[in-house]
Amino acid sequence: MPPRFNPFDDAFRRDPYPVYRTLRTEEPVHRSFLDAWVVTRHADVKFVLKDRRFGVDPIPDRIADRHRFVQSRGGNLEALLTASRRFFFFLDPPTHTRLRGLVKTVFSAGAVERMVSIFTAYTDRLLDDLSGRDGFDLIEDYAGPLPVFVIASMLGVEDFDQRTLKGWSLDLSRILDPLVSLEEYQQMDEIVRGFEACFREMFAARRARPADDIISVLLANARGHDDLQERDLAAICTLLFVTGEETTVNLIGNGMLSLQRHPDAWARMRDEPDLASTGVDELLRFESPVQLTTRVAHEDLDLRGVRVRAGDKIVVGIGAANRDPDVFERPDELRLDRHPNPHVAFGDGIHYCLGALLAKAQGVVAIPRLLRRFPTLRVQTDNLQWRRNIVVRGLTHLKAAV
């Protein structure tokens, strides 16, 4: 019998929802061949994300194993290992609380509000560049450039080549995947070194002359944390690229695909500006850019009658929870005015997405503006190429005809 839950399977990648439905109803705490439990019900997903008896999956420890192996062959993954130990989504309290605290204010509602006019103008420039063309790649030419521009602007590194930063973020986002080859880790190590060099340059510039950007805030907040060195601060900046880029691309890409498959919703999103906010939440629920995350049990406990042991790994099914009929009426329907919409696309608990407001604001600007600029736009709905990443759900390309 093939495994019930196989995130590497092409059919699953194309359409994971039938598998999620079966798991939710027949085996809500499923023992996977990945040597982990898989939870798919909304209540269980929230429980695992919020209960402090679960901690993060210690991915840096896995990198440390690979580092030792590479060292035995004369190389090393030192930069990647050091940075990953500062990526606070891999950390439990108290270090998590301390490092998140250094940057948590920079994504407040006020800070996001100040960014909106800047990225709206940038979106319009992208749309101007696309005008007059018969078609384009929605991922490459529209969804892709926006988040990298936004994060680079907020960090104050907009002078660095954005294509390079984008490529680095994409490759480094594979760090979340459970199966990563040695070559990929080596490539990530190089990328971390590249980011570090870029941020060190900025640290020197901002120390000399602070500006209104994240790097200046981070440097100010890090005063008094004498154990934190420049490479630790560079790791935090790198983390913002890794978490904020690919996810937001996929909010726009997956969102446009969902709208194309629901023409009524497409027309409403274009014509009813008041629907943009609930509409983007619904797109996040319907095709969640982050499909799953992982946790590890810190102690023995019962999960829906199943005995989970300390040290067991739990795959937390965000995409599955967002289609749970116990919480969402007719979950497989796209309803842009769904309210309330308690989706978990941004997670929950202490690791709740730091950039949630920023990501949503980009969707609210980018999606309706695109629909209005090109009233006859159509995006492809077949022969889709999904990325081979199992955590992040998104398309490599999405052809659009004007």
Q: Who's near 337: CB < 8 A, 6+ residues apart?
A: 275, 278, 279, 282
Residue 360's nearest CA partner among 385, 341, 382, 379 is 341
**In this structure, what DSSP letter does residue 289 have?**
S
Residue 327's nearest CA partner among 23, 7, 45, 5 is 45
Q: Which residue has the tokens 């996929």?
A: 250
Residue 199's nearest CA partner among 177, 180, 222 is 222
How many whole angstroms separate alpha carbon 171 and alpha carbon 298?
Answer: 31
Q: Is residue 240 close enough to count as binding ligand HEM by CB under 6 A?
A: yes
Closer CB to ligand HEM, residue 30 or residue 295? 295
Among 173, 293, 322, 380, binds ligand HEM (CB under 6 A): 293
Q: Single out the segment in contact with ligand HEM by CB under 6 A; choices: 195-203, 237-245, 323-331, 381-389.
A: 237-245
User: Smallest distance, Å, CB 89 to ligand HEM?
Assistant: 3
Closer CB to ligand HEM, residue 196 or residue 348? 348
Q: Is residue 354 close enough to count as binding ligand HEM by CB under 6 A?
A: yes
The residue number whose beta carbon is nearest to ligand HEM equals 355
Closer CB to ligand HEM, residue 219 or residue 356? 356
Q: Is residue 247 close enough to count as binding ligand HEM by CB under 6 A?
A: yes
Q: Single out the segment in contact with ligand HEM by CB under 6 A; choices: 116-124, 217-225, 329-337, 353-361.
A: 353-361
How many whole angstroms separate alpha carbon 42 and alpha carbon 327?
Answer: 7
Q: Is residue 143 close enough to count as binding ligand HEM by CB under 6 A?
A: no
Among 54, 286, 346, 374, binds ligand HEM (CB under 6 A): 346
Is residue 270 a contact partner of residue 357, using CB atoms and an 8 Å limit?
A: no
Residue 127's nearest CA partner among 113, 147, 114, 143 is 143
What is the full DSSP assignment across 319-376? HHHTT-TTTSSSTTS--TT--S----TT--GGG--TTHHHHHHHHHHHHHHHHHH-TT
Q: Is residue 50 close enough to count as binding ligand HEM by CB under 6 A?
A: no
User: Smallest distance, Å, CB 287 to ligand HEM?
Assistant: 10
Interface of this chain with ligand HEM, residues 90 to 119, rule: CB under 6 A: 100
Q: Is residue 239 close enough to count as binding ligand HEM by CB under 6 A?
A: yes
Q: Who's near 330: CB < 8 A, 6+ residues apart?
A: none
Q: Who's near 188: CB < 8 A, 6+ residues apart?
A: 77, 80, 171, 172, 174, 175, 180
Q: Is residue 389 close enough to count as binding ligand HEM by CB under 6 A?
A: no
Question: What is the total count of residues that contact ligand HEM (CB under 6 A)?
Answer: 24
Among 82, 173, 248, 322, binds ligand HEM (CB under 6 A): 248
Binding site for ligand HEM (CB under 6 A): 88-89, 100, 151, 239-240, 243-244, 247-248, 251, 289-290, 293, 318, 345-347, 351, 353-355, 358-359
